[in-house]
Amino acid sequence: MNTVRVPIRTPLFRGKRGLRIALVGLPNAGKSSLFRAVASASVQTGELAGTHRVYDECAVQIGLDEARVLDLPSMHSLRHLDDDDRVSLKYLLWGDARPAVSAHEPGGPPAPFSPPDAIIQVIDATALERHLELTLELLLLGRPIVIALNKADEAQDRGIYINNKVLSEKLGVPVVRTVAVMGYGIAELFAATANCVRDGVPAPAEPASKHIEERLRPVVTAFDGVEIRDAFRLPPQFLAVQLAGGDRYFLDELRQHFPDRLPAVRTLLEQAGGGLPRSLAEELHADRHHRAALLFEAATRLGTPHDTRDWRYWLDELLLSPRWGLAGSIAVFAIVLFVVFYVSSRLDALTAARLVDWVTPWQPATLPGVVGRAVADGLIGLVGIVVPYMLPLVMLLVALEHAGVMARIAFAVDRGFHHLGLHGGVAVPFLLGLGCNVPAISAIGAGSRGSERVVATLLVTFVPCSARSAIILALGGKYLGGMGVFAIFALTMVVFAVLGKLLRRRYRRTGPGQVQEIPAYALPRWRALVGETWLRTRDVLTLVTPLLVGGSVVLALLHHVGADGAINTLFTPVTSWWLGLPAVLGVPILFGVLRKELSLLMIYQALGGFDVGNYLDDVQIITFLLFLTFYVPCISTFAVMVKTIGRREAFFSVSLSVGVALVVSGILRFVLEAFRYVAV
């Protein structure tokens, strides 16, 4: 077997060495949209000290790295700030560790955590020149900076084409194109931020125009002494620019703490501004505006608006937009169900239906004959489940995953998952759960921790796996029609959402947010598609086949010797009294603990035929399908749950599923019967 080695950049930022990243930017740049795209379900909100300016903060997983991301209030500039805006600057400079010049101020530090290891400035690409002025100021802070060139799609729609590589070379910092509301570029952005800190190189200060730089050099030198550096804990160039720009706060601090230096500094500032056509502060502002314009011209090309909106654009609008993303995801799954339903009905007629017609005349009376017929029924049941229903469903889900659709659905449902105390990172395991709950729970165990792992594991057992979906399609599709099947899946989603809300109250702590990558659309390769489908369904041959055949034989023997009656009698309060089902379905319900597919096969044997419609009416079929959908997960799912969340929570999951199955299916049975009675 070939081993693939993936290089990992070190050191890793985890635990106490985790990163702290601050998001800054002008209003309406998309900063909050970027934060929401990576935020966890547990966002801490607070006010900067002494202000009413609100910040949001949460944990985020960036590949193998961990970070705390802080969404700061918007700021227009770092110059001439009022008291409220200056608190944001103080946090960027000092965090919760005040310098000597700030120790005398009343109140605590701006925020109760350390200063950022890196700054992400979110820029509106449609107004690049205006945002670059703030960039030039941020570069003076001496911290690693990464630029998120946001709303890149809107800029192209307006005919603004920005070369982010040229802009990156000019500024000396990474520049990443993003569309925050749709998730584009976010994974690359945060990976670049982590690497920027890992490299340990702060952003280079963009030099002012030559004549300004020469005039400020004596001022910068005056602040390069150890005493002033220790007192202010600021880059000398930043302090010089702030004082030259007339910032009252830093001037007052200099006067209070270094009164003997103030006359010399004033003299240097007067000399720097001497002979200029405008005041030094105005000259600095004009120079910054001029340099931003030059950067804009060097990196931007204005052309005709980008109007080639192909199917990719419209599909992204459906799946990734905040307004339509969730509805688009539901529509995709509805289409999947109807396509599978359409294909399955034809495959069923070509495979299992013909086998049923072939074996029906065989009605053995001897023990060997009963065993032989049971083996045949087991194999026919296997074919009837796998070929028409399971394989098309799994293959279509794999195709959507390879095409890039599943990643978009995961990003879209992230917003909804936050209401359940989960993040969109577990959406992919939930989608895997549509194939089988076992690999889904394993993926949850590998990608989450704490209470979030428990909640996600408990909820994923209510996701209809391919086995349960196959039963719903096999019975519901045949006797209830397409709308009946869709109604059952819709009710499953409602129950899932309600349970998520209730479980969030039981398990309040949640895990970190996830940086999700949105891949490009791709046409699935046939070989990879078949290989992945086989990997996800091969357990049917290695595990399910013996269980189906063995269970069929056991049930046939129980029926042959009359022992199944005792089991059915024991389950009568559940089957007949509460669910309104024939008592003979007690054994199929019991054997469903082994594999859900086994229940479908045993229904045929218990009822004495493959045409369920002759024995059950529509209400009974709906009741049975709902009970089987929510009923105890199969034994293999239970085993992996014990390994992932522990024995106690696994048994709680069993109790929860039994309770939900009884309550939902029983209540719906009485409601449907009441409607039927009124209609008659």
- Backbone phi and psi for residue 25, each to the nearest 5 degrees, phi listed first: 165, 170
Nearest alpha carbon to residue 377 among 170, 603, 205 = 603
- Residues 480-526: pLDDT tens digits? 877 888 888 888 888 888 888 888 777 766 666 677 778 888 888 88
Domain at 15-206, CATH homologous superfamily: P-loop containing nucleotide triphosphate hydrolases (3.40.50.300)
Specify the amino acid at residue 113: F
**CB-CB contact of 630 with 660 (8 Å):** yes
Strands 160-162 vs 300-302: parallel, antiparallel or unpaired? antiparallel
The 3-state DSSP class for residue 467 equals helix
Specify the amino acid at residue 1: M
- Please give the mean pLDDT across all residues of the chain: 81
In whole angstroms, what is the distance from residue 233 CA to residue 229 CA? 5
In whole angstroms, what is the distance from residue 100 CA to residue 229 CA? 10
The pLDDT of residue 609 is: 67
CA distances from 3 to 6, 529, 543 (A): 10, 22, 28
Cβ neighbour number for residue 524 with a 10 Å cutoff: 17
What are the structural domain ranges in the chain? 15-206, 314-679
- Backbone phi and psi for residue 577, each to the nearest 5 degrees, phi listed first: -75, -45
In whole angstroms, what is the distance from residue 244 CA to residue 235 CA? 14
The pLDDT of residue 241 is: 87
The pLDDT of residue 601 is: 62
Q: How many residues belong to the chain?
A: 680
Nearest alpha carbon to residue 216 among 168, 284, 318, 139 = 284
**Is the previous residue joined to 73 through a cis bond, with omega within 30 degrees of 0?**
no
- Residues 576-590: pLDDT tens digits? 888 888 888 877 777
**CB-CB contact of 286 with 244 (8 Å):** no
Per DSSP, 78 falls in state: S
Residues 6+ away with beta carbon under 8 Å from 197: 13, 19, 117, 118, 144
Give the residue ranges of the chain where pLDDT is below 50. Answer: 1-4
**pTM for this entry:** 0.77
The pLDDT of residue 147 is: 95
The pLDDT of residue 131 is: 93
The pLDDT of residue 1 is: 39
The 3-state DSSP class for residue 587 equals helix
